[in-house]
Amino acid sequence: MAMSLATTLPACGRGNDRWVTTEDSRVDIDWDEVGQAYKDAEGPEDFERRVNEIYTGDEVISVAVQDKDEKTQLVTGFFDNNEDGKAGDDETIFTIQRDLVSADKGQYQIAGYGPYAGYHSPMWDIAAGMMMGSMMMSVFSPGYRPMYTTPYSTAPGRRGELMTQRNAWRQSNPDTFNKRASKSGRSYGAKGGGFGGGRPAPGPRMPSRGGGRFGLRRAPAHAPVRLAG
């Protein structure tokens, strides 16, 4: 099992919220989980599957992976609205840049774009010997050569497959999915400006029966009155 990230994100602070709610999207992204998905992924296809399970919206997130050189890898998440298999500037929602610092140390960082513009994660450290997927671990392998100098990008035809797989995952994991989806509309810091919103997103609906979310039942509108005999 992969180790959890050693560095945790601050609880709040403009531009560094773990969750960022936006007027454009109405969907929060847990950047901790996205970072962990990248750390655990066995390859681009595995990463795009994991990211779409994390994302609770209706859109499919496509992924592009490019090794800029032997030290730097850039991963881009985007909504492929025009279905050309490329991350346009107006389609990009996040990037992850991984840099090799030395033979046994590296680092990576997430940045948000579009409706998530303004978010920047801490710089997460990685090291040879850590538990991680082969997508990240391969950089520490002897004789390593970049695999994605010719960029990988989610094929437009694969988006339907990803949606089908995600729907099946949501049905098989209702508790996990509902827990993630219930966070939509919540924010752990100021919104507006670079976060794309000024209006508050609506909160989750309350169940029609059974009282509030914290186990409190609503009192009846009219309490029964016992008449004196």
Alpha helices, H only, 41-194:
44-54, 134-137, 158-172, 174-181
pLDDT at 211 over 80: no
Which tens digits make up the pLDDT trace of 152-210? 999 999 999 999 999 999 999 999 999 888 765 333 222 322 222 323 333 333 333 33
Which tens digits make up the pLDDT trace of 32-78? 999 999 999 999 999 999 999 999 999 999 999 999 999 999 999 99
Residue written as token pair 């994390």: 54
Ranges of each domain in the chain: 31-173
Residue written as token pair 């850590």: 130
**3-class SS at 66?**
strand
Q: Whole-number mean pLDDT of the chain?
A: 76
Alpha-carbon dihedral 118, 189, 185, 177, rounded to 10 degrees? 80
**3-class SS at 158?**
helix
* 41/213: higher pLDDT: 41
What pTM, to 2 d.p., does this model score? 0.70
**3-class SS at 162?**
helix
Average pLDDT over every residue of 212-217? 31
Q: Contacts from 145-151 at CB under 8 Å and sequence distance 24+?
A: 145/70, 146/67, 146/69, 146/70, 146/73, 147/67, 148/44, 148/65, 148/66, 148/67, 148/73, 149/66, 149/67, 151/64, 151/65, 151/66
Instruction: Read off the pLDDT band of 1 (50, 70, 90).
Output: very low
pLDDT at 132 over 50: yes
pLDDT at 143 over 80: yes
> Among residues 111, 89, 108, which one has the least CA distance to residue 97?
108
